[in-house]
Amino acid sequence: MAYEAARTSEVAYMDEVRRLFGGYKQGTFDRLRLQPGHRVLDVGCGPGSDARAMAARVEPGGEVVGVDRDEEMIEQARSRPAAGTPVRFVLADAYALPFEDASFDGCRSDRVFQHLDEPERALAECFRVLKPGGRCVVADADWGTLTVATSLPALTRTVLDLGSDLHRNGWAARSLYGQFRSVGFADVDCEMSVAHTTEWAVAAWAFGLEHYAAQAAERELISESERDAWLADLRERDRAGTFFSSIMGGMAWGHRP
């Protein structure tokens, strides 16, 4: 299956997660209200798939600029076919965007803020580079809402709480609305949605369940036998066709006055 191959690299992982759970992305594009001639920034662009999708909406005369701090991601983005599309990719940090004030009509970031120690600082940079009236949309997961059906609730709470805490900003989605308001965006709004899977193999890597269980045992929050029992319960549910896991994600948007 594709998710097995996706374990081999971060780029493949991002591509596969986009395929499985990327239905919300259209909503992020729509809320930017892209028009021909717009200049748009994609912060944390990864391998560039979303930047290319937006590029078609700003033609003719527009441009999409994707930035990422990971050299491998930028190399991948630049290597993928993009002939004739108004898109380019720049190695840059979300905390120090290398662009002039008020130079973009739109700014977007997707599944990046969960990795940031100072998400509001990155959002302030998005605000800075937007023109007056320019729109910003940020989407991310809320790892504190991760669920899994199991007959071992106490173990589950321990494992999933750790999983959220392993992210720099595990409650990213629920924080976005307040951050947009604090930075100064106007007409701020937000939306939450749920992604789910009924396959253990998908949840084990895409939602991190197997990794969180291993980390909980390594940190002695649970015993190794408890870890094994928890994982066995989930695998048995998968064999029985009763496995279920879900997580909430959210987005917030607004414009620079």
* Residue 6 pLDDT: 40
Question: pLDDT tens across 172-181, in order?
Answer: 999 999 999 9
* Residue 85 pLDDT: 78
Residue 13 in this model has a pLDDT that exceeds 70: no
> Which is nearest to 213 in space by CA: 149, 173, 166, 246?
166
* Residue 12 pLDDT: 67
Residue with the larger pLDDT of the pair 205 and 228: 228
Give the separation between CA 128 and CA 183, rounded to whole angstroms. Answer: 10
Residue 219: HSE in the Cβ half-sphere, 13 Å Cα cutoff: 13
Q: pTM of the prediction? A: 0.91
* Residue 114 pLDDT: 96
Question: pLDDT tens across 107-131, in order?
Answer: 999 999 999 999 999 999 999 999 9
Give the separation between CA 130 and CA 145, rounded to whole angstroms. Answer: 32
CA distances from 130 to 34, 136, 254 (A): 14, 8, 11
Buried b (16+ CB within 10 A) or exposed e, 81-112: ebeebbbbbbebebeebebeeeebbbbbbbbb
Average pLDDT of the segment spanning 37-62: 95
Give me the phi and psi of 112, to 5 degrees please: -110, -40
Range of weakest confidence among 9-13, 48-52, 149-153: 9-13
CATH topology for 2-255 is Rossmann fold (3.40.50)
Listed by start position, the domains of the chain span 2-255
